[in-house]
């Protein structure tokens, strides 16, 4: 990138940034002539991906800072006015425990207010799912939550939501970006003036209490919980995020005993006890698992910093805790929800669940076992929300009762349109109690499900490509797989390829044969092997990394579950080896 262009971009940013810290960072880099760092901060502008706007905190257009937040909000405000030119508009803003989250949230709220949009701002940390709930409860036209979800501490982000409580999807996402890129000035208003004019409204318990009541009302067996709650011992960690207040309040009001890991209870953007505040990472649960063993817990629970992701671990027969994957917990919840609807006489005429294209095929087998459909969508919970919304108006009579994706995302209620770790915690607590009342653990039930569906095992591979060369490196890998698709993976023949970017099914053994793909375009490739294994490849929408997923099923035979597990592991290890030869270690 030419230094004159870098200097011009940096000067433009420095003139517009109101925050003195972010402005001084750029001034110091210019003075030191640190062109490499300056190039990284200005070679591109942050763009909306599967999780909205997300980046490393710092000065520059390729960073998360006050100017980027204010510009995004002005662009969003401009877009709203174009879409709803005669409507009195309203918005709601929430934020998590990350560095600068409160400041970014207030900055966004004041830009909305300056544009004449009535804005509700939470008084303190709140989970992302409560933001979705608030949009729907208050009847707002949009919402923003300041969070980088499970990313490392250096990151923050900006998730934009539409009036149905779900994250923005096409055409709104591209429309908003176009408006953001066209922003030439940002409107301002003082906080005191915004409050006096009722353009800024601070909210908390008027949303908290209905949200808690909604989560409790989602459960199937209040009488069982009331009678048996004292029998279940729960250890919980919010991983220094927003979840403690809600998880403790909801589960505690049900009479459940919850011990929150004290060292991780309070919000802290440094995430001092974990390398990655992500319940997908086993190391993030180390402290909770230790506490779980001390307390002889029936289940250890964790939410990520904005409490939309949810993970658990449960003890086996020896007392050692076993981490339950997102795919496995999704299967258990799907089974429990369908089973409960059936037992309670509330099963809809055409029940359905939704999962993403990289989620285990086990869940489809479970849905079919209960006479339900399993609808698929692209990766990212905004697509689950989109399919859910379409099912309510397409006239097909389908009733969606559950949505999930492999990355620890679960939606068990109708009043939120994003993954919800709080309601997932409550439903998992009830599910644990239910199977305990039957003399079973969650692991026991999972093994019973394997007997129905076959043994399913999944694998994930991620490789980071940071810096200016990163996007091109990921593009080159995807191009290689498109232009020279493998005939085998792990020694198993590739039967067909689903290319979402080209919206085509391709068949390696029949060159020239194609069939249409009936899902939105996305830079994703899926390889379907002759034994039913599916291998997927996609660049991340929120981080500079490329991700591979593999899901395989091994039938149970006379040799039992352990033999099926060994066969599955061998299969996935061979596939991993082939992928590593392309992307490197």
Q: Which residues are identified as catalytic? A: 149
Question: Any bridge partners for residue 173, and if so which?
Answer: none
Closest by CA to 566, choosing from 550, 583, 554, is 554
Cβ proximity of 310 and 424 under 8 Å: yes
Cβ proximity of 51 and 542 under 8 Å: yes
Task: Quote the CA–CA distance of 111 and 199 in Å, as a whole number.
Answer: 10
Is the previous residue joined to 126 through a cis bond, with omega within 30 degrees of 0?
no
Task: Quote the CA–CA distance of 328 and 404 in Å, as a whole number.
Answer: 11
Is the previous residue joined to 492 through a cis bond, with omega within 30 degrees of 0?
no
Contacts of 399 (CB under 8 A, 6+ apart): 348, 349, 350, 351, 352, 391
Edge-to-edge order in the sheet of strand 310-315: 257-260, 233-237, 299-303, 310-315, 321-324
Could you tell me the two tokens for 230?
Answer: 């004292």
Task: Quote the CA–CA distance of 281 and 363 in Å, as a whole number.
Answer: 22
Closest by CA to 542, choosing from 259, 172, 143, 158, is 158
Closest by CA to 169, choosing from 411, 386, 404, is 386
Task: Quote the CA–CA distance of 78 and 37 in Å, as a whole number.
Answer: 32
DSSP-derived pairing of the beta strands 545-554 and 534-539: antiparallel
- Give the total residue count for the chain: 585
Closest by CA to 134, choosing from 96, 98, 161, is 161
- Neighbour-count burial for 515-540, b at 16+ CB within 10 Å, e otherwise: eebebeebbbbbbbbeeebbbbbbbb
**Could you give the C-alpha distances from 442 to 314, 427, 448, 565, in angstroms and in order?**
7, 13, 10, 18
Strands (E), 243-298: 257-260
**Could you give the C-alpha distances from 451 to 148, 362, 456, in angstroms and in order?**
39, 11, 10
Task: Quote the CA–CA distance of 493 and 485 in Å, as a whole number.
Answer: 11
**421-437 and 205-218 helices, crossing angle to 10°:** 30
Judge residue 229's burial from the number of C-beta atoms within 10 Å of its C-beta, 0-12 exposed, 13-18 middle, 19 or more buried.
middle
Helix (DSSP H) and strand (DSSP E) numbers for the chain = 19, 23
Task: Quote the CA–CA distance of 490 and 479 in Å, as a whole number.
Answer: 20
Cβ proximity of 453 and 362 under 8 Å: yes
Question: What phi, psi does 201 have (nearest 5°)?
Answer: -130, 125
Task: Quote the CA–CA distance of 156 and 57 in Å, as a whole number.
Answer: 6
């Amino acid at each position: 990138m030419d230094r004159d262009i870098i200097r011009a971009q940096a000067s433009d940013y420095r003139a517009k940034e109101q925050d003195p810290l972010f402005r001084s960072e750029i001034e110091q880099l210019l003075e030191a002539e640190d062109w490499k760092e300056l190039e990284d901060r200005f070679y591109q502008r942050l763009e909306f991906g599967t999780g909205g706007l997300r980046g490393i905190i710092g000065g520059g257009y390729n960073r998360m800072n006050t100017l980027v937040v204010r510009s995004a909000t002005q662009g969003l405000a401009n877009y709203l006015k174009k879409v709803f030119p005669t409507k009195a508009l309203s918005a709601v803003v929430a934020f998590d425990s990350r560095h600068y989250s409160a400041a970014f949230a207030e900055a966004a709220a004041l830009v909305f207010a300056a544009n004449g949009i009535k804005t509700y701002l939470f008084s303190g940390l709140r989970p992302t799912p409560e933001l979705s709930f608030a949009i729907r409860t208050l009847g707002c036209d949009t919402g923003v939550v300041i969070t980088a979800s499970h990313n490392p501490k250096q990151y923050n982000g900006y998730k934009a939501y539409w009036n149905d409580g779900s994250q923005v999807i096409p055409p709104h996402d591209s429309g908003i970006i176009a408006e953001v890129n066209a922003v030439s000035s940002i409107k301002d208003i003082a906080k005191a003036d915004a409050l006096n004019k009722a353009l800024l409204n601070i909210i908390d318990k008027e949303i908290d209490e209905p949200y808690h009541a909604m989560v409790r009302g989602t459960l199937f067996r209040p009488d069982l919980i009331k009678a048996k709650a004292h029998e279940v011992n729960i250890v919980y960690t919010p991983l220094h995020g927003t979840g403690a207040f809600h998880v403790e309040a909801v589960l505690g009001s049900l009479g459940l005993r919850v011990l929150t890991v004290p060292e991780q209870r309070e919000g802290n953007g440094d995430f001092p006890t974990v390398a990655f505040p992500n319940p997908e990472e086993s190391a993030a649960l180390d402290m909770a698992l230790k506490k779980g063993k001390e307390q002889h817990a029936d289940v250890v629970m964790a939410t990520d910093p904005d409490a939309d992701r949810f993970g658990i671990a449960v003890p086996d027969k020896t007392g050692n805790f076993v981490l339950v994957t997102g795919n496995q917990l999704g299967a258990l919840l799907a089974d429990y929800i369908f089973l409960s609807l059936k037992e309670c006489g509330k099963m809809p005429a055409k029940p359905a669940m939704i999962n993403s294209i990289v989620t285990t095929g086990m869940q489809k087998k479970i849905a079919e076992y209960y006479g339900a459909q399993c609808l698929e969508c692209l990766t990212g919970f905004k697509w689950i929300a989109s399919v859910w919304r379409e099912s309510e108006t397409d006239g097909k009579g389908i009733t969606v009762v559950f949505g999930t994706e492999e990355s620890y995302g679960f939606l068990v209620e109708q009043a939120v349109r994003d993954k919800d770790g709080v309601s997932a915690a409550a439903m998992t607590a009830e599910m644990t109690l239910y199977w305990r009342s039957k003399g079973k653990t969650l692991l026991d039930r999972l093994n019973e499900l394997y007997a129905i569906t076959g043994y399913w095992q999944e694998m994930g591979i991620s490789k980071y490509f940071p810096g200016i060369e990163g996007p091109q490196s990921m593009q080159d890998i995807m191009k290689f797989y498109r232009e020279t698709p493998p005939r085998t993976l792990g020694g198993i023949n590739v039967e067909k390829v689903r290319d979402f970017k080209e919206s085509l099914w391709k068949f390696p053994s029949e060159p020239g044969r194609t069939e249409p793909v009936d899902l939105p375009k996305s830079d994703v490739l899926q390889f379907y092997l002759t034994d039913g294994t599916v291998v997927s490849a996609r660049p991340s929408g929120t981080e500079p990394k490329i991700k591979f997923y593999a899901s395989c099923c091994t039938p149970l035979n006379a040799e039992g579950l352990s033999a099926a597990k060994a066969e599955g592991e061998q299969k996935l290890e061979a596939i991993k080896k082939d992928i590593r030869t392309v992307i490197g270690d």
